[in-house]
A and B are shown apart, each in its own frame.
Chain A
Amino acid sequence: MLGMNKNDTRMLLLVAALTMLAPFILNPFPTDSGLAQFNAGYPDLMQRFVIFGIFAIGFNILFGLTGYLSFGHAAFLGVGSYSAVWMFKLLAMNVIPAILLSVAMAGIFALLIGYVSLRRSGIYFSILTLAFAQMSFNLAYSVLTPITNGETGLQLNLDDPRILGVSQTADGSIPVTNLFGLEMRSTFEMAVGPWAFQFNAGYYLCALILLAVFYLSIRIFRSPFGLMLKAVKSNQQRMNYTGLNTRPYTLAAFVISGMYAGLAGGLLASMDPLAGAERMQWTASGEVVLMTILGGAGTLIGPVLGAGFIKYFENIFSKINESVLHSWFSILPDGLEDLLVTLVYPFVGKGWHMTLGILFVLVVVFLPGGLVEGGQRIVSWLRSKKSDDKAANGKTEPAE
């Protein structure tokens, strides 16, 4: 279908099903049960899942295919966010022009940074991108305060011009972001027994865009261009010796991946019209590297899984506080309860970074192919159990 082979079609349909049914899948526990703490099916987090999924898919086009490890991708995310918010401030609250401008601006930025950085490879490339990203962060944080509003972050005001829209609504508040009148924040709540499922317009816009760019990334992976990028990863020197100039290919990959990041930034701002400098900080660049490696670099679906995993930890685990823990263990005798709370507390709440770090180490040591490899191992284990006559195939196969 759509010029893809059977496996890829199946993968795209799987992603489509996952994203469209996410409000159900992510809310498995009834709202009044104790486990509701682990529900992730609320609009903001679902939006983050798909937006950072887009970011990671884009990063994977560069890192997974060419092996160039960019440590400055957050800069493009930030550029995208700032462009989108400026569009909301100056033009209109429709998200389409905002998203278009953010993709275009991120593309221009990526072209400039990529042109310089791609003159080197390996660690030097990583350091160059990191340097550019930190530079952008510091500019946004202090020097460019009139454009970025520094640490406070760029926000909408009642007196913004918005030449194609209104500065403020009839009741004197800031208009909300919309897609031709469909408000991004409008949410339909469906109550089924004790469950409550939230269907958010903004989420579905992000999800559809995710499907589109996921499809695009499949086509890039399977195209002659993608093959060229894989060749760069396996042996760039040999390619150069055969008389082939690889730089246009790597630059194209860099710009495409920068535009993905810009798109993610634009979407972030469309869902919540605020852009902060910390979006460009090196920790944010490191996060997308973690997402990609955790999910499985070079695989199609891995980065999306990794993004979901990290955002889940950041938003769900960080909110488990001491009193929540006490309520979980309240059936136990007092001494034991306190002991368990003391033991568990360092790993949740503000200690969520630690849990994530441990998981990351475990994944990298035992599953170098990321979560995707874990999934494949389980599947192959199940298959080998089914057909005992066939010897188990110990070696892992690439996901694509």
Chain B
Amino acid sequence: MSNSNFTRRGMLKTSAVAGAGVALPTIFTASSVAAYTNEPTGSSVTLGFNVPQTGPYADEGADELRAYQLAVEHLNGEGDGGMMNTFSSKELQGNGILGKKVEFVTGDTQTKSDAARASAKSMIEKDGAVMITGGSSSGVAIAVQGLCQEAGVIFMAGLTHSNDTTGKDKKANGFRHFFNGYMSAAALAPVLKNLYGTDRNAYHLTADYTWGWTQEESIAAATEAMGWNTVNKVRTPLASTDFSSYIAPVLNSGADVLVLNHYGGNMVNSLTNAVQFGLREKVVNGKNFEIVVPLYSRLMAKGAGANVKGIHGSTNWHWSLQDDASKAFVKSFGTKYGFPPSQAAHTVYCQTLLYADAATRAGTFNPCGIGEALEGFEFDGLGNGKTLYRAGDHQCFKDVLVVRGKENPTSEFDLLEVVEVTPAAQVTYPIDHPMFAGGALGTCNAG
């Protein structure tokens, strides 16, 4: 029970304790004296690899982790060097970065913004990571990019395809090698026009978050520009695993094209459901019903099995490319793990190399120096042909591949074939394009 016996002595004691408690934190308000966040002072430098190990994008996350480990090996001079040998910039010597051995820590984003930020924070605060990279979801990438901007470290985005990452949510400390929804639409539209004509009714099923929204917007705009009609746009929760209730209404909607703005496990499930409902055998408005998956990857094709045959989409990179860089990367990845890398693996490997190269050229790990080195950087020999890191929005511009699910795969990895390589010029857009408007890079933050 409560007993209110306030005495003078008790009051004095209490206020002394409380006063000490209040005074304590104010002693410790000085910020650290280092020139920038987590300046590496020892013989090694720590990078933070923050990827989904659980959730709908776990497959991509696992493949990214493999590529990161390979990149670290190559940077430290182990293995065969992979794309370091074909990279147009010859600064990297295989002695780590700026002579410091590369070490790494890993974390699980769980494909949740909150968990991803907690994991990235622990890398920065506990492990002293000077760069964070990874992410297989644009929501997560944007959340972590914001965190890195505040904390004063560089963020090298992994698999993030939303326009917003380098659009309205762009940040000075964030860089994206991967392509985006607008580029997919710009590359796909002409191919779809040739294949399916200009008189089509499209039905969109869209993962309900920033990536889905911007890709849906981009694809709808590009297809409507060539005469297609958009029948309906339906948003599906990211965590769904069964899409039958979303597929059934498509049958009676009068649509003759289904656009699946889904990725990873979502796409595998929704495509399987669509095929089970017999959509591909249907004839609507006198035309064969078609399915389009704007963002494709080999891992998804593998998950969906025979269902992907003849389905078109776009991809950032594919292991069957025959340039020297791609061959070198596939060779060293295949030697280590026994199977070819996915586009997620490719993009994060490139990002790690690009970061290391920028640090070497800048001669510092200071995020502002690295940012300057990356802005406007033109390079070749990383598997996508000539590539530009645009200074205005930190987006890479390079060729985009339009691919199709192979009809007669020769092996379990040979699931996609490249239909067309869309040149970078065709997918380039001005920085102030309306789909990318509304944000600002701000200035680089070194902590």
Interface with A: B105-113, B255-263, B325-333, B396-404, which one?
A: B105-113
| Cβ-based interface call for A152 (8 A) | yes
Known: A1-B13, A176-B150. A171 touches B122 (CB 8 A): no
B118 surroundings in chain A (CB, below 8 A): 44, 48, 314-315
Known: A142-B237, A223-B1, A276-B114. A1 touches B24 (CB 8 A): no
**A172 CA to B445 CA, complexed, in Å:** 9
A224 touches B1 (CB 8 A): yes
Interface with A: B385-393, B417-425, B436-444, which one?
A: B436-444
A172 surroundings in chain B (CB, below 8 A): 440, 442-443
**A44 CA to B2 CA, complexed, in Å:** 36
Interface with B: A120-128, A203-211, A251-259, which one?
A: A203-211
B150 surroundings in chain A (CB, below 8 A): 173-174, 176, 185
B146 touches A39 (CB 8 A): no
A157 surroundings in chain B (CB, below 8 A): 439
Contact with B along A304-347 (1 / 0, CB 8 A): 00000000001100110101000000000000000000000000
B209 touches A150 (CB 8 A): yes
| Cβ-based interface call for A274 (8 A) | yes
Who on chain B is nearest to A323 by CB?
B69
Known: A155-B143, A222-B1. A278 touches B113 (CB 8 A): yes
**A9 CA to B443 CA, complexed, in Å:** 50
B208 touches A173 (CB 8 A): no
Contact with A along B120-164 (1 / 0, CB 8 A): 011001100000000000110011001101110000000000001
Interface with B: A98-106, A186-194, A380-388, which one?
A: A186-194
Known: A142-B237, A158-B439. A274 touches B24 (CB 8 A): no
**A350 CA to B169 CA, complexed, in Å:** 30
**A45 CA to B119 CA, complexed, in Å:** 10
Known: A189-B32, A223-B1. A151 touches B209 (CB 8 A): yes
| Cβ-based interface call for B14 (8 A) | yes
B21 surroundings in chain A (CB, below 8 A): 16, 20, 208, 211
Q: Which of B14, B54, B114, B439 contacts A350 (CB 8 A)?
A: B54
* Distance (whole angstroms) from the CB of B109 to the closest CB of chain A: 11
Who on chain A is nearest to B112 by CB?
A278
| Cβ-based interface call for A361 (8 A) | no
A155 touches B142 (CB 8 A): yes
A171 surroundings in chain B (CB, below 8 A): 443, 445
A168 surroundings in chain B (CB, below 8 A): 442
A39 touches B126 (CB 8 A): yes
Interface with A: B4-12, B284-292, B350-358, which one?
A: B4-12
* B2-42 contacts to A (CB < 8 Å): 2-6, 10, 13-14, 17, 21-22, 24-32
B172 surroundings in chain A (CB, below 8 A): 173
Q: Which of B4, B22, B146, B149 contacts A274 (CB 8 A)?
A: B146
**A292 CA to B445 CA, complexed, in Å:** 40
A204 touches B25 (CB 8 A): yes
A156 surroundings in chain B (CB, below 8 A): 146
**A183 CA to B440 CA, complexed, in Å:** 24
| Cβ-based interface call for A3 (8 A) | yes
* A335-369 contacts to B (CB < 8 Å): 349-350
**A216 CA to B169 CA, complexed, in Å:** 41
* Distance (whole angstroms) from the CB of B95 to the closest CB of chain A: 20
A3 touches B31 (CB 8 A): no
Known: A151-B238, A272-B147. A44 touches B25 (CB 8 A): no
**A176 CA to B445 CA, complexed, in Å:** 12
B442 surroundings in chain A (CB, below 8 A): 158, 168, 172-174
* Distance (whole angstroms) from the CB of A270 to the closest CB of chain B: 13
Known: A176-B150, A188-B30. A5 touches B3 (CB 8 A): yes
A142 touches B235 (CB 8 A): yes
**A114 CA to B212 CA, complexed, in Å:** 36
| Cβ-based interface call for B297 (8 A) | no
B208 touches A141 (CB 8 A): yes
| Cβ-based interface call for A116 (8 A) | no
A186 touches B14 (CB 8 A): no
| Cβ-based interface call for B273 (8 A) | no
B89 surroundings in chain A (CB, below 8 A): none
* Distance (whole angstroms) from the CB of B198 to the closest CB of chain A: 33
B147 surroundings in chain A (CB, below 8 A): 272, 274
* Distance (whole angstroms) from the CB of B5 to the closest CB of chain A: 7
- Size of interface on A: residues with Cβ below 8 Å to B: 64
| Cβ-based interface call for B218 (8 A) | no
**A183 CA to B31 CA, complexed, in Å:** 10
A30 surroundings in chain B (CB, below 8 A): none
Who on chain A is nearest to B30 by CB?
A188
| Cβ-based interface call for B93 (8 A) | no
B126 touches A3 (CB 8 A): no
| Cβ-based interface call for A219 (8 A) | yes
**A13 CA to B17 CA, complexed, in Å:** 9
The residue in B5, B28, B172 that gathers the most chain A C-beta atoms within 10 A of its C-beta is B28
| Cβ-based interface call for B298 (8 A) | no
* Distance (whole angstroms) from the CB of B39 to the closest CB of chain A: 12
B208 touches A142 (CB 8 A): yes
**A16 CA to B149 CA, complexed, in Å:** 34
| Cβ-based interface call for B117 (8 A) | yes
B210 touches A151 (CB 8 A): yes
* Distance (whole angstroms) from the CB of B251 to the closest CB of chain A: 24
| Cβ-based interface call for B215 (8 A) | no
A89 surroundings in chain B (CB, below 8 A): none
A349 surroundings in chain B (CB, below 8 A): 53, 108
A44 touches B1 (CB 8 A): no
B143 touches A152 (CB 8 A): yes
**A20 CA to B23 CA, complexed, in Å:** 11
A185 surroundings in chain B (CB, below 8 A): 150-151
A272 touches B117 (CB 8 A): yes
* Distance (whole angstroms) from the CB of A260 to the closest CB of chain B: 19
Known: A138-B237, A186-B29. 14 other contacts (CB 8 A): A13-B17, A42-B122, A43-B125, A141-B208, A152-B139, A152-B142, A156-B146, A174-B149, A188-B32, A201-B28, A276-B114, A278-B112, A319-B106, A319-B122
A-B contact pairs, 14 of them (CB 8 A): A48-B118, A151-B238, A152-B143, A159-B440, A173-B445, A176-B150, A182-B29, A186-B31, A187-B31, A187-B32, A224-B1, A279-B114, A319-B122, A350-B54
Chain B residues proximal to chain A, CB less than 8 Å: 1-6, 10, 13-14, 17, 21-22, 24-32, 53-54, 69, 105-108, 112-115, 117-119, 121-122, 125-126, 138-139, 142-143, 146-147, 149-151, 164, 169, 172, 208-210, 235, 237-238, 438-440, 442-443, 445
Chain A residues proximal to chain B, CB less than 8 Å: 1-3, 5, 13, 16, 20, 39, 42-45, 48, 138, 141-142, 150-153, 155-159, 168, 171-174, 176, 182-183, 185-189, 198-201, 204-205, 208, 211, 219, 222-224, 227, 272, 274, 276, 278-279, 314-315, 318-319, 321, 323, 349-350
Give the 8 A-B CB pairs with smallest separation, nearest first.
A204-B25, A151-B209, A199-B28, A188-B28, A44-B121, A42-B126, A42-B125, A172-B443
